[in-house]
Each structure stands twice: as C-alpha cells, then as structure tokens.
C-alpha cells in the first residue's frame, strides 16, 4: 500500500490503514514530511472552526455535498478529539476559530509521526513521484537514482501548487492528465491581488495594515483588515473575498472593490464634520482632525479620489465610505495560501478512487474544491485522508486482499 504525499491528508490515510494492520509505505519528495502543515502553524495553527456544522459545511461552496460526506465521518469536534488523543488540547479563539494550545504545529506533528512509527508506517523521503512506468509501476526519482514500486493500492495526497518550496509543486497535474484523468488547472485561492500603486504610495506605505474597514464586492461585504504590499494587497479580508474576485477578473479582466474606511461613521456624520471651517489647515490635516483619515487610509484616499473632488465636502465623505480600488490580477499561485482546481470529483467514484485508474485514490488539497481560511482547509484535508483510507480498506476487502 503506497501513500504518496506526507501532508495532513496522506498522513491521515496512513493512520487509518496502519491501524487496521495494512503495511503502509509513505513516499514524499522532501527530506521531511508535513512541511506546509508546519508552516501553517507559524502564525497560529488554525486547525478547525467551532461554528455550527451546517454553517461549517456551507464554506465549501459548490463542493459542499461531497465534502459534507467526509465531514460527517470526521467532524470538526472529532478533529479536536483526535488532537487530544495525541496529547494536544485545543481552544476556541474569539473569532470561533480553533487552535491548539501553544498555537504551533510541531508538537502535534511530532506526536503524530511517533504514533505512525509505532504503527509500523515506513517513510521514504526524497522520493519524488514522476508518474507511472510502462508496466504500471510507480516511478520515483531518488538520490540513488530512479526506483520503481509496485503497490496493491495507492493514495495520492500530493497537495496543491502553492508554496512549491514546501514540496507541493503541482507537477502531478501532468502525470494524471497523461493518464486520462480530468484535472482542472490549479489556481490561486486565498490569495492577494496586484494593484498599480503610485510609486509614492508604495514607498510610503508598503507593509502597512489597513484596519477595520469594510470591503464590498458584488454580494460580498465583510469587515476586517488587510495589508498594502509592494505590488498590491493581501491579508485575511482580501483572502475572504478572493475566490469571487479571482473568478470575476478571469471573466472580465479586472475588478473594482469598494472600501468603507470609516464603517462606524455614517456618510452624514462625515459630511457634518468635514463641513466645519478648515481655517488655515491643509486639507490633509482637516481630514485627519475631523474624519480621522490619517496614515495609510489618508494615502489611499489621495491615491484614488481625484484632487478636484476635495473642493466640496460631500465628495471626500463619499470616497471615505466607498473608495474604489482597482484590482488587476491575482498574485501568482506560488504565493497563495491554497489552490483551487485539481482532480475533478467527476473523475472519481464515490470512494475517491479514480475511475480511469482502479486502485488509485486521491485525497486533500489536490482535489477540485476550495474554502476560505478559518481551519476549513485542514479539516477537509484530514477528513478526506480518512475517507480515502477507509475506501482503500473496502476496496482491498472487495478484492479479497488480506488485510
Ligand atoms: C502559509 C500557509 C498557512 C496556512 N495556514 C492554514 C491554517 O492555519 N489552517 C488551515 O486550515 N489551512 C492552512 N493552510 C493550508 C493547509 O496547510 C493546506 O491546505 C494543507 O497542508 C493541505 O494538505 P495536503 O495533505 O492536501 O497537502 P500538503 O500539505 O501540501 O502535502 C502534500 C505533500 O505531498 C508531497 N508531494 C507533492 N508532490 C510530490 C511528488 N511528485 N512526489 C512525492 N511527494 C510529493 C509534498 O512534499 C507534501 O509533503 C496554510 C497554508 C499556507 C501555505
């Protein structure tokens, strides 16, 4: 039994199978497994979310039906219980997001790898899977040269295509397409966007957070914060709207988002304040004193509100409430938190087995679904790894293969 890819999905499949006495070999191209999982813990590992199940599954959008099936067998609460079983307690943060106490991945991953080792799982590191040989054996590139491996069943858990330096480089897309499997092109998900900032704004405000603003775009309206980067915008509020914005850019070639930079103030309140006599104060100083527009928010206002509009007070007030920011393109896939696209659900049977390739199962981010940040990515990866593991057991039993 071969599992290719030692991220959360592959390791979960390895746990399920090895617990039932199957001899499992995990192959990974990197010198150690779980690298993206480790990096996910850098800013605080958001394992899952505590909201009601119905709301939780709605986060998977058009793939809700498929993912709900995995999650019914491994709920967000089951995930917390599983972490507890590895000696890691979790807590619910103020936003409802669930984190391990200590916030980091490393203690959880260490305990998990020890469990897998005790279960007899064998790890083959620096083994890059490069498709199949003519005799249908798996082809690996290793430091000792090319190796072929024959397995009764295979779980592919190769991840998406972002942060390629951590191992998931999306090279598998070619191998699967060549084998006749339908794979949607990988696209950035939870990603930033390019904006053509003026050199002045970029130099002055690169890296500055834009806090407590409301972003509106089509049906999307949410309060939060993001960061002005050298080439555009990134951060949680932008990521939350990113799937919608990405698809619209793909369809129309560019979009304009609207920013309410004073969500606690009404337009009328702003007009009243800005109408106060300015005296000898500059407009910039007047905006700061009366409407609180300073720093990066003032910079954005001057970037996108035409100068002549500052002559009467209604125009700046309306720009503060609805500042248009043109977004040009998504940032490259490699910079994204996750990937959309991947192996389509239509090319799999209900047990995550590739219809064209009996005995080959898929799990994790390499499947064609996406979700916002908030713990939804990892939860679905873990749950799909379990589902793939259970399916392999069923399949082996159906073939009469001894387990
Ligand atoms: C910066 C960052 C922060 C994140 N934070 C969070 C968070 O807080 N909460 C959350 O839910 N999600 C988070 N995510 C997303 C989450 O980490 C991923 O969705 C998850 O790791 C995907 O799991 P996976 O097992 O499908 O794939 P991966 O974790 O990508 O693992 C795939 C494995 O396959 C191996 N592999 C790939 N190709 C080959 C090949 N050809 N041969 C052999 N091995 C191969 C790779 O080396 C890798 O080890 C974050 C992602 C990033 C980049």
C-alpha dist (Å) from residue 364 to 163, 206, 219: 16, 34, 29
Q: How far is the CA of 160 from the centre of ligand 1 (A)?
A: 7
Distance between CA 236 and CA 372 in Å, rounded?
Answer: 9
Residue whose Cα lies nearest atom 3 of ligand 1: it is: 40
Distance between CA 243 and CA 330 in Å, rounded?
Answer: 10
Question: Is the CB–ligand 1 distance for residue 16 below 6 Å?
Answer: no
Q: What is the radius of gyration, based on Cα positions, of the chain? A: 25
249: how many CB neighbours lie within 10 A of its CB? 17
Distance between CA 304 and CA 297 in Å, rounded?
Answer: 11
Q: Determine the pLDDT at residue 307.
A: 84
Distance between CA 282 and CA 243 in Å, rounded?
Answer: 41
Q: Where are the beta strands (DSSP E) in 28-89?
A: 48-49
Q: Determine the pLDDT at residue 306.
A: 86
* Residue to mutate, 7, 113, 171, 335, ligand 1, most ligand atoms under 8 Å from C-beta: 7
Mean pLDDT by 10 residues, the chain (403 residues): 98 98 97 98 96 98 98 98 98 96 96 98 98 97 98 97 98 97 98 98 98 97 97 97 97 96 97 92 92 96 89 90 97 98 98 97 98 97 98 93 61
Q: Determine the pLDDT at residue 369.
A: 98
* 3 state DSSP class of 49: strand
Distance between CA 149 and CA 140 in Å, rounded?
Answer: 8
Q: How far is the CA of 168 from the centre of ligand 1 (A)?
A: 7
Distance between CA 163 and CA 235 in Å, rounded?
Answer: 16
Ligand 1 atom with least separation from CA of 6: 49
Residue whose Cα lies nearest atom 30 of ligand 1: it is: 159
Question: Is the CB–ligand 1 distance for residue 205 below 6 Å?
Answer: no
Distance between CA 85 and CA 65 in Å, rounded?
Answer: 29
């Amino acid at each position: 039994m071969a599992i290719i890819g030692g991220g959360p999905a592959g390791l979960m499949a390895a746990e399920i199978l090895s617990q039932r006495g199957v001899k499992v070999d995990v192959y990974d191209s990197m010198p150690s497994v779980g690298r993206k999982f480790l990096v996910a813990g850098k800013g605080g590992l958001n394992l899952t979310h505590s909201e009601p199940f119905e709301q939780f599954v709605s986060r998977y959008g058009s793939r809700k039906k498929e993912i709900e099936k995995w999650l019914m067998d491994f709920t967000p609460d089951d995930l917390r219980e599983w972490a507890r079983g590895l000696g890691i307690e979790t807590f619910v943060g103020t936003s409802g997001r669930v984190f391990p106490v200590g916030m980091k991945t490393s203690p959880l991953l260490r305990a998990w790898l020890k469990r897998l080792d005790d279960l007899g799982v064998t790890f083959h590191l620096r083994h890059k899977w490069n498709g199949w040989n003519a005799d249908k054996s798996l082809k690996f590139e290793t430091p000792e040269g090319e190796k072929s491996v024959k397995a009764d069943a295979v779980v592919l858990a190769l991840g998406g295509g972002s942060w390629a330096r951590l191992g998931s480089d999306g090279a598998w897309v070619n191998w699967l397409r060549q084998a006749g499997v339908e794979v949607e092109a990988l696209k950035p998900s939870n990603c930033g966007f390019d904006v053509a900032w003026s050199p002045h704004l970029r130099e002055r405000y690169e890296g500055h957070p834009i806090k407590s603003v409301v972003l509106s775009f089509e049906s999307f309206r949410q309060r939060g914060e993001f960061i002005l980067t050298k080439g555009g915008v990134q951060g949680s509020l932008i990521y939350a709207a990113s799937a919608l914005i990405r698809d619209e850019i793909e369809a129309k070639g560019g979009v304009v988002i609207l920013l309410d930079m004073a969500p606690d103030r009404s337009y009328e309140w702003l007009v009243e304040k800005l109408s106060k006599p300015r005296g000898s104060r500059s407009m910039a100083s007047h905006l700061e004193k009366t409407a609180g527009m300073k720093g990066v928010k003032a910079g954005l206002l001057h970037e996108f509100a035409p100068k002549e509009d500052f002559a009467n007070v209604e125009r700046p007030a309306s720009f503060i409430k609805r500042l248009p920011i043109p977004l040009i393109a998504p940032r490259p896939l490699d910079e994204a938190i996750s990937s959309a696209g991947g192996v389509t659900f239509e090319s799999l049977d209900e047990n995550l087995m590739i219809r064209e390739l009996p005995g080959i199962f898929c799990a994790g981010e390499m499947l064609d679904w996406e979700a916002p940040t908030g713990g939804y990515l990892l939860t679905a990866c873990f749950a799909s790894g379990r589902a793939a593991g259970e399916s392999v057991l069923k399949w082996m039993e159906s073939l009469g293969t001894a387990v």
